[in-house]
Amino acid sequence: MSIFSFLFKEQNLPDAIAILDRKDYKSAISKGKVQLVDVRTKREFMSGHIKGAKNIDFFQGSSFESNFSELKKDQPVYLYCQSGNRSQKAARKLVKMGFDKVYDLRGGYRTWTY
């Protein structure tokens, strides 16, 4: 594994996962009702989040999975965390749970300036 692929883990993502830059992400979530999920902790979420996002903490184990089981697996899910690391891990989990398409915000909430 090269240092580049190690640093940019998105190289090895399943086809069901796409990483979007903030402009494309904003455009996608602005097109109507979407499944928008912030996988940060409740404290992080309360300090600021994208309007319309549901908070499902990645670190909550079985609660994480049960909360996602309430979402529609055949519709896209838009994820983000603080930097993009947790949301990529969450995206991989969702694909294993049977979600068809998962979009992740490149760089996470820290890049969100809207």
Q: Would you say residue 42 has pLDDT above 60?
A: yes
Q: Higher model confidence: residue 108 or residue 113? A: 108
Residue 8 located in a structural domain: no
CATH number for the domain including 95?
3.40.250.10
Q: Give the per-residue pLDDT at 61.
A: 86
Question: The domain containing residue 49 runs over which residues?
Answer: 16-111
Query: How many domains does one find in the chain?
Result: 1
Q: Which residues are the active-site residues?
A: 81
Q: Give the per-residue pLDDT at 82.
A: 97
Query: Is residue 11 very low, low, confident or very high in pLDDT (cuts 50, 70, 90)?
Result: low
Q: Give the per-residue pLDDT at 2.
A: 40
Reported pTM: 0.87
The secondary structure of the chain, three-state, reads CCHHHHHCHHHHCCCCEEEECHHHHHHHHCCCCCEEEECCCHHHHHCCCCCCCEECCHHHCHHHHHHHCCCCCCCCEEEECCCCHHHHHHHHHHHHCCCCCEEEECCCHHHCCC
